[in-house]
Amino acid sequence: MAATVVRGQNVDIRMWTRPDEVEEFAMRQLQNISALPWAVKHIAVMPDVHYGKGATVGSVIALRDAVSPAAVGVDIGCGMTALRTSLTASDLPATLRGLRSRMEAAVPVGFAQHKATAFTEKDASDWTSFWKRFEDLTPAVKARADKAMHQMGTLGGGNHFLEVCLDTDQRVWVMLHSGSRGIGNELAQHHISVARTLAHNAELPDPDLAVFLSGTPEMAAYRHDLYWAQDYARRNRAVMLRLVCDVLRVEFPHIQFEEPISCHHNYVAEETHFGEDVLVTRKGAIRAGRGELGIIPGSMGTGSYIVRGLGNPDSFESASHGAGRKMSRTKARKTFTEQDLAAQTSGVECRKDSGVVDEIPAAYKDIDTVMANQSDLVEVVAKLKQVVCIKG
């Protein structure tokens, strides 16, 4: 669909969804973002848009010589990784519970972490240099080094997941969704708090949108910590992927794996748009440059998409990061039961207890509608349907 333009305050808001389908609080957030004096051209709003803490989920913001840490979010570098295997559906056992259990044993979920560090040179090069850079992070997280090491290669909770999926050709895929874990959250919270104290943010319509300005020590400190956390998130997904692939190699000795696809969807990038060098924050959005592969997941029972970007300049070469919530977690828990969850995840080997009712598919927007709304942003490469879904 063509984007709808809504009048903003400093710049306009360009939306890949109907404005009347955006909840009031999210629209108010978008208006506040559009008032930022550093905003360039317009604010791009993805079809999975919904209210978020600090800044709207599903927003792409290009700022001139500034960055808002809340417009990245507290799970810095959160994103997706997927790969296709040589297996087909006929290779899988009739009952998938055993496979799910072995994957859960290999990858800690929820608040769990590895008893011993799980990362190796198989996962990413130069771990020594990476952990050495931890020493230069803000002193506020200095005591978290051991925790960060033992959380490397862990899933977390909430909407993070690990899945085995089938595409329409019945080929088996592995897909996972996670970010920078506790250390990324602590870094984000620290810098959001610092930004709120800066004098140039005093007149903003929403103090959560406080920014750092280029050329200041606060900006330099944030960008150092931000890029380290984004690297942590990338490595975290690589470690988990290797752990899952190790499980699959034991189960299926002749299995082969294709090159993984990986993308952040809560991050900052230095890019050029409309002839200007800008800092782009994508919070609940992936980069969708022309020809670039990306991953857009649905909810735990509805399937996901592998996509190729079309490089649409009006979206700052971006697309949605998933289906997007249409209902808060609290409302979902009050609205749905374990029986509802079991019905909506029929055919998927997954948790079906009260602890994940807030992740029920009905709490999310329809992924196919989301995809239809961004047909000018991405083209579909493969549609996947999960047969195993692990959540914390």
- Does 191 participate in catalysis according to the annotation? no
Q: Report the 10 Å Cβ neighbour count for 120.
A: 11
CA distance 345 to 361: 8
CA distance 105 to 380: 33
CA distance 125 to 30: 40
Instruction: Find the catalytic residue in 114, 150, 264, 321.
Output: 321
CA distance 97 to 175: 17
3 state DSSP class of 249:
helix
Q: Tokens 């989920």 identify what position? A: 57
CA distance 287 to 317: 6
CA distance 177 to 156: 9
SS3 assignment for 200-244: HHCCCCCHHHCCEECCCHHHHHHHHHHHHHHHHHHHHHHHHHHHH
CB 225, CB 218: distance < 8 Å: no
CB 377, CB 309: distance < 8 Å: yes
Q: Tokens 């600090």 identify what position? A: 54
- Greatest extent of the chain over all pairs of C-alpha atoms, in Å: 62
Catalytic residue list: 321
